[in-house]
């Protein structure tokens, strides 16, 4: 069985720059196919983050959220484990960090879950500046870039 990939907002934003929806609709249709197969998911908190922006993603995400979205309550049991990695941050303050802890918690809650982000690791100690790859490393959770995700899922591309 294939792993489930959980995408960060920056992956979709970057993909939109490289694969504009109007010019490459097949790419976006393929993401929907991955969503229907359960291979790729977008956490509810990431969708909320996308809604705060004012870009091309909002209509696409809204139109397809029933296919792509994974609800926050599905990862809450793993959130305390993730929250502990944000040194100095109380569990009650975790939402201040944004969608990142929830994205990671989704991957942790799925034993073979993989986080997909274009963030680079950092040595930040301020919990509000810690990066997804650094937290994933501490939790032994696989974290890859969007390019790696595209490579790993290429076999599922329509011929």
The enclosing H or E element of 116 equals strand 114-116
pLDDT in tens, 34-50: 999 999 999 999 999 99
Report the CATH number of the 5-156 domain.
Answer: 3.40.50.1010
Residue 32 has pLDDT above 80, yes or no: yes
Average pLDDT over residues 110-131: 91
Six token digits for residue 115: 């986080």
Cα–Cα nearest to 68, from 102, 41, 38 = 41
The enclosing H or E element of 89 equals none
pTM of the predicted model, to two decimals?
A: 0.94
Length of the chain: 159
Rounded Cα distance, 37 and 28, in Å? 14
Average pLDDT over residues 124-146: 93
Rounded Cα distance, 3 and 107, in Å? 10
pLDDT in tens, 65-103: 999 999 999 999 999 999 999 887 777 788 888 999 999
Question: What confidence score (pLDDT) does residue 54 get?
Answer: 79
């Amino acid at each position: 069985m294939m792993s489930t990939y959980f995408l960060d907002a920056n992956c979709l934003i970057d993909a939109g720059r490289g694969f504009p929806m109007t010019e490459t609709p097949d790419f976006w249709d393929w993401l929907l196919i991955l969503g229907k197969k359960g291979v790729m998911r977008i956490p509810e908190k990431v969708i909320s983050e996308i809604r705060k922006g004012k870009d091309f993603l909002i209509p696409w995400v809204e139109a397809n959220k029933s296919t792509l979205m994974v609800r926050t309550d599905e990862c809450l049991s793993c959130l305390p484990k993730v929250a502990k990695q944000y040194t100095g941050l109380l569990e009650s303050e975790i939402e201040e960090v944004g969608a990142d802890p929830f994205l990671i918690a989704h991957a942790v809650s799925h034993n073979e879950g993989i986080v997909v982000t274009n963030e680079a690791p950092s040595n930040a100690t301020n919990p509000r500046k810690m990066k997804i790859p650094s937290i994933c490393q501490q939790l032994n959770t696989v974290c890859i870039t969007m390019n790696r995700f595209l490579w790993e899922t290429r076999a599922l591309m329509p011929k």
